[in-house]
């Protein structure tokens, strides 16, 4: 009887593991800085779906959106320590822990979704995966794409750099972005993403920048009125995994994770293409007023590239590295 009982028990366990109805043997925690409906959320849902499909539901993930598990920068530390499994966050919040990823935040380098895909999914992306493993103990296993970060504020339309001086802008705790606003003559106030909505609501700061999709998902239209269509950073938002958790998996499961990340990456590009224009229109209907920067953004581009690029050559891994990227993008070298 003992043996029969043991067999019955292990059969039940096998059935539970094999079921796709939420009985995964392992459910990983996945943090997300943005709210539901964001590009991070769309990416996360697809990743979990694929992870379950690739592992016969032995592994799943639970999404904790809206910075429930801490600020985006805190989640990098947690994942590095192995106390958090995954996090989906903007690349600018990885930079303080692995400076070479800053190359994706250098103003006016990436100028389209296609360029973002080319760089993240090619040789440059592979190098950055290696660097973040070594520097921060986290592995990038997928990339979400969220579009250009546009400038929003509650006070007035902004078209020129003179206009910009009239507002206080929250920026991420990211040296490249802080330096960019300084080069523009602006008033950057570094602050965690998780504190930004409240700071805007209470008027501690007047504005911030993030993509249309994020502005909408985070309901910033309820606390912001004006938008300036700057295109200084195309927002790339990787899924990072704790390297110690990754290394504890079998090669098959590691493969399943990477494959799920690839599908979610492709899905993210499709999500952006399908939704960005509609979301922008929706924000106009909700009362947001959108302006283009004066002069085709010329002054904004000149000030940012001449002051910020040279200052950050070293942190991003050298001027040669930037030139390699510019060549890949078919642009003039510096």
| Calpha distance 60→245 (Å, rounded) | 14
Residue 34 in contact with ligand MLT, rule: CB under 6 A: yes
- Hey, what's the torsion of the CAs at 99, 103, 290, 43, to 10 degrees? -80
Q: Which is closer to ligand MLT, CB of 24 or CB of 110?
A: 110
Tell me the C-alpha to C-alpha distance, in Å, between residue 332 and each of 69, 94, 215, 314, 326. 42, 28, 33, 20, 6
Concatenated DSSP letters for 117-171? HHHHHSHHHHHHHHHHHHHHSEEEEEEEEEEEEEEEESS----SHHHHTTSEEEE
Among 28, 31, 51, 72, binds ligand MLT (CB under 6 A): 72
Among 28, 33, 261, 275, binds ligand MLT (CB under 6 A): 33
DSSP code of residue 65: -
Residue 212 in contact with ligand MLT, rule: CB under 6 A: no
44, 32 contact by CB (below 8 A): yes
Among 95, 105, 214, 275, binds ligand MLT (CB under 6 A): 214
Q: Which of residues 181-210 bind ligand MLT (CB under 6 A)?
A: 193, 210
From the number of C-beta atoms within 10 Å of its C-beta (0-12, 13-18, 19+), residue 72 rates as buried
The region of 54-62, 88-96, 116-124, 132-140 touching ligand MLT under the rule CB under 6 A is: 88-96
Q: Which is closer to ligand MLT, CB of 24 or CB of 29?
A: 29
Residue 105 beta carbon to ligand MLT: minimum distance, rounded to whole angstroms: 10
Phi, psi for 205 (deg, rounded to 5): -130, 160
Binding pattern to ligand MLT, positions 143-182, x when CB under 6 A? -----------------------------x----------
Residue 89 in contact with ligand MLT, rule: CB under 6 A: yes
Residue 99 in contact with ligand MLT, rule: CB under 6 A: no
Residue 238 in contact with ligand MLT, rule: CB under 6 A: no
Phi, psi for 53 (deg, rounded to 5): -65, -40
Site of interaction with ligand MLT (CB under 6 A): 33-34, 72, 89-90, 92-93, 172, 193, 210, 214, 237
């Amino acid at each position: 009887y003992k043996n029969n009982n043991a067999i019955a028990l292990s059969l039940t366990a096998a059935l539970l593991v094999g079921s796709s109805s939420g009985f995964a043997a392992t459910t990983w925690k996945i943090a997300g800085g943005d709210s539901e409906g964001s590009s991070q959320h769309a990416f996360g849902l697809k990743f979990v779906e694929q992870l379950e499909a690739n592992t016969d539901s032995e592994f799943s993930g639970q999404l904790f959106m809206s910075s429930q598990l801490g600020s985006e920068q805190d989640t990098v530390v947690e994942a590095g320590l192995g106390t958090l499994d995954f996090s989906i966050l903007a690349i600018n919040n990885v930079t303080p822990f692995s400076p070479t990823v800053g190359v994706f935040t250098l103003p006016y380098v990436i100028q389209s979704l296609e360029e973002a895909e080319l760089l993240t999914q090619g040789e440059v992306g592979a190098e950055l995966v290696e660097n973040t493993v070594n520097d921060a103990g986290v592995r990038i296993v997928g990339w979400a794409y969220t579009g250009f970060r546009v400038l929003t504020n509650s006070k007035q339309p902004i078209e020129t750099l003179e206009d910009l001086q009239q507002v206080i802008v929250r920026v991420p705790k990211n040296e490249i972005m802080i330096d960019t606003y300084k080069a523009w003559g602006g008033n950057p106030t570094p602050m965690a993403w998780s504190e930004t909505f409240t700071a805007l609501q209470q008027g501690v700061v007047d504005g911030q920048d993030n993509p249309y999709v994020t502005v909408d998902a985070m309901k910033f239209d309820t606390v912001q009125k004006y938008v300036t269509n700057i295109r200084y950073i195309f927002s790339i938002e990787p899924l990072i995994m704790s390297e110690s958790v990754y290394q504890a998996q079998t090669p098959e499961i590691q493969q399943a994770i990477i494959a799920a990340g690839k599908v979610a990456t492709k899905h993210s590009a499709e999500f952006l293409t399908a939704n960005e224009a509609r979301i922008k229109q929706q924000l106009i209907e909700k009362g947001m007023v959108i302006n283009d920067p004066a002069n085709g953004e010329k002054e904004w581009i000149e000030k940012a590239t001449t002051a910020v690029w040279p200052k950050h050559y070293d942190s991003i891994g050298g001027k040669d590295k930037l030139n390699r990227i510019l060549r890949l993008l078919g642009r003039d070298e510096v």
